[in-house]
Structure 1
Amino acid sequence: MGDMTYWLPVVWAAILVVAVAAYVILDGFDLGLGILFPFYKTEEHRDVMMNTVAPFWDGNETWLVLGGVGVLVAFPMAYAIIMPAVYLPIIIMLLALIFRGVAFEFRWVAKPDHHSVWDVAFAGGSIVATFAQGVVLGGILQGITVENNAFAGGALDWLRPFPIFIGLALIAGYALLGATWLLMRTEGEVASRAREQAKALLPIVLVAMGIVSLWTPLATEHVAEVWFSWPNILYLSPVPILTAFAAWICWRSLVTGDELTPFIATIALFMLGLIGLGISNIPYLVPPSITFWQAAAPPESQIFTLVGVMIMLPLILGYTIFNYWTFRGKVRPGEGYH
């Protein structure tokens, strides 16, 4: 049982990483469209934008559910600590996602002269949900006050400069994902505008990543030790080098007229950012005090739920791949899935 006690939390941590990465990529460009929505004024353009994600948007949030439930069943101590620390932004995020989902569906059945109401709801829900997600991430990364394996901070500990900055940075990041998605899935004026938006957003995202990369180690001693001690600085150097390379590829492909590469390069930027955050905090699930193993449920509970995940995860992956393959290609004005 000793080996299982060690490896089961690691397996569950890997599952959570997959869920978070999948959610950030898939729902990221989805929310990004809502963030960009106010910049597309015509009804035709907005219809095209929404039709690019109509077959996917609700399925994308499956990964958010998997991540949240995974923390609850595999790491109940971490769940009990994290939730009260960021309870308010999580509630705001969920309400914004619900509001956005209602706006998405109601817009299609509303009379054209009522579309503006649902357009505002769709854009507002996307922006608020994205900002709240960034605040939750920042609130966890800045460290949670823990005493006797329980949350011992205040309900507004997340209301600090670092989480607020992460929230704003994530808005820019998701908008970049949304712009490169539109570039890949549309044509004509929508695609041209998306390309220009991506060119404007990429430097903002890179500056934000640079600020976070410096702010985190300066504010947290154990993160500084991870990145700037020898020989770690040598071993971890590929992460910033690959990030710079992905950014260069993204910019070059935007300038040369490529349609697919900017989206792939933006995904690479996000994944490298997540890798960097993971390296900074491993093995802490609740920085800077609770590790995977300390937060883990009893091995029997982890095994029981792991069996279910091993059955459902391939099904979710298979459905997602099938869905994206089926609805591949450009979306043109007048075409749609509603």
Structure 2
Amino acid sequence: MTSHPDLAIFFACATAFVIALYVTLDGFDLGVGILFPFAQRTDDRDVMMRSLEPMWDGNETWLVLGGMVLLAGFPAAFSILLPAFYVPLALMLFGLVLRGIAFEFRSQRGRFELAWSLAFSGGAALAAFCQGAVLGAFITGRISVTDGRFSGGTFDWLTPFSVATGFGVVAGYAVLGAGWLIWRTGGEVQEFARRAARPALLVTAAAIALVSAWTPLSLPSVAGKWFSWPSMATLAPLPLIAVAAWVTAWRSLSAQREWLSFAASIVLFLASLSGIGASIWPAAIPGVMTIWEATSSYRTQVIVATALIVIVPIILAYVGYSYWVFRGKVNAGASGY
């Protein structure tokens, strides 16, 4: 039986939801890893890592779930995107594995502590950069397809724009990580996070401005959405929300409300992702196919949609419970929360 158009929209929304959760949750612990080598004292780095111990592994659940949703919901798009991004995705997975190994081995101390610290930070930075590079290559439509198959080169994804978006995501994750540390730590670590957040916010703003300007220039369909009436009025709140969130994040770095910088950085990410999603909608791959052309069969849609309706609330429940149990601050000299 052919696919159902409403279920294609369901899977598109589910994919966006999972990506948003992954970027928000795994983004801040990757950000802490990116900031890791800039902390001056070993005790400060211990506090930074201890703040992530109960959360970091569960945050990657959303990456696995996102891959499953994309494969089951849009197999035609998945079969093109995977070979197009083999290299950055493989490097991203290597970075995540390296970070995980380093996280466990660094806690054992010993003479290789410095090496594991560098591996922890390097793995986080590599994973973040690859995610940003994939995003940059995806939204600019640099994916060659012939007869429904990827026909481009191995390094088509690597362009000045994708490199810029890669560094932009690294800076954005650093903002999330700094916000997390401001909220969940105190003393020297918190002051370090406040200082580190300012340059990261500036680089993030530059990356968002670059994407906002470049995307309409490279994709006429995007320009038509953002600069024609009435869609312009519908989309206008997104950049306004992003600007307000950035200003709030900047000003909150010297405010007493410690949670505000983290919350504002999350809103900044969500507004930016919403803008990208609205720009390319309803494309599964910009310039190649729509979500209705890429979707799976009706039987598959029903089975996977039912599974998602059951599984996602369970995952949200245990993730939320873990954050509740391990609430509070981590301070130097403490064994945990």
TM-score (norm 2): 0.96
Structure 1: distance between partners of 2:79 and 2:207: 31
Identity of aligned residues (%): 44
Q: Report the equivalent of 1:305.
A: 304
Structure 2: distance between partners of 1:304 and 1:122: 38
Structure 2: distance between partners of 1:109 and 1:252: 39
Q: Which runs of 5+ in 2 are unaligned?
A: none
Structure 2: distance between partners of 1:221 and 1:336: 55
Whether the aligned pair in 1 keeps the contact of 2:330 and 2:336 (CA below 8 Å) is no
Structure 1: distance between partners of 2:181 and 2:336: 16
Q: Report the equivalent of 1:141.
A: 139
| Cα distance change, pair 105–130 in 1 and its aligned pair in 2 (3 A) | same
Matches within 5 A, 1:59-138: 59-111=58-110, 113-138=111-136
Structure 1 position 160 matched with structure 2 position 130 = no
Q: By how many angstroms is 1:147 displaced?
A: 2.2
Q: By how many angstroms is 1:9 displaced?
A: 1.0
Q: By how many angstroms is 1:246 displaced?
A: 1.2
Structure 1: distance between partners of 2:242 and 2:122: 30
Q: By how many angstroms is 1:265 displaced?
A: 0.4
Deviations 1:150-188 (A, max 9, x none): 212111110111111110100100001101110000000
Whether the aligned pair in 2 keeps the contact of 1:247 and 1:269 (CA below 8 Å) is yes
Whether the aligned pair in 2 keeps the contact of 1:55 and 1:337 (CA below 8 Å) is no
Q: By how many angstroms is 1:258 displaced?
A: 2.4
Larger mean CA deviation between 70-79 and 199-208 belongs to: 199-208
Matches within 5 A, 1:1-338: 5-111=4-110, 113-143=111-141, 144-337=143-336
Deviations 1:39-72 (A, max 9, x none): 1132211110001110010100000000011111
Structure 2: distance between partners of 1:27 and 1:9: 26
Structure 1: distance between partners of 2:100 and 2:240: 38
Larger mean CA deviation between 57-66 and 134-143 belongs to: 134-143
Larger mean CA deviation between 305-314 and 16-25 belongs to: 305-314
Structure 1: distance between partners of 2:335 and 2:294: 46
Structure 2: distance between partners of 1:19 and 1:117: 33
**SS class of match (2:284):** strand
Structure 2: distance between partners of 1:129 and 1:243: 24
Structure 2: distance between partners of 1:232 and 1:305: 32
Structure 1: distance between partners of 2:50 and 2:109: 16
Q: By how many angstroms is 1:337 displaced?
A: 4.6
**SS class of match (1:317):** helix
The count of corresponding residues between Structure 1 and Structure 2 is 336
Whether the aligned pair in 1 keeps the contact of 2:133 and 2:165 (CA below 8 Å) is yes
Structure 2: distance between partners of 1:61 and 1:10: 25
Structure 1: distance between partners of 2:227 and 2:125: 35
The one-letter amino acid of 1:117's match is A
The one-letter amino acid of 1:217's match is P
Whether the aligned pair in 2 keeps the contact of 1:48 and 1:336 (CA below 8 Å) is no
Q: Which runs of 5+ in 1 are unaligned?
A: none
**SS class of match (2:253):** helix
TM-score (norm 1): 0.96
Structure 2: distance between partners of 1:336 and 1:169: 34
Q: By how many angstroms is 1:189 displaced?
A: 0.7
Query: How big is the alpha-carbon RMSD for the aligned residues of Structure 1 and Structure 2?
Result: 1.4
Deviations 1:183-212 (A, max 9, x none): 000000110111111123222211221111
Q: By how many angstroms is 1:73 displaced?
A: 1.3
Whether the aligned pair in 2 keeps the contact of 1:183 and 1:195 (CA below 8 Å) is yes
**SS class of match (2:250):** helix
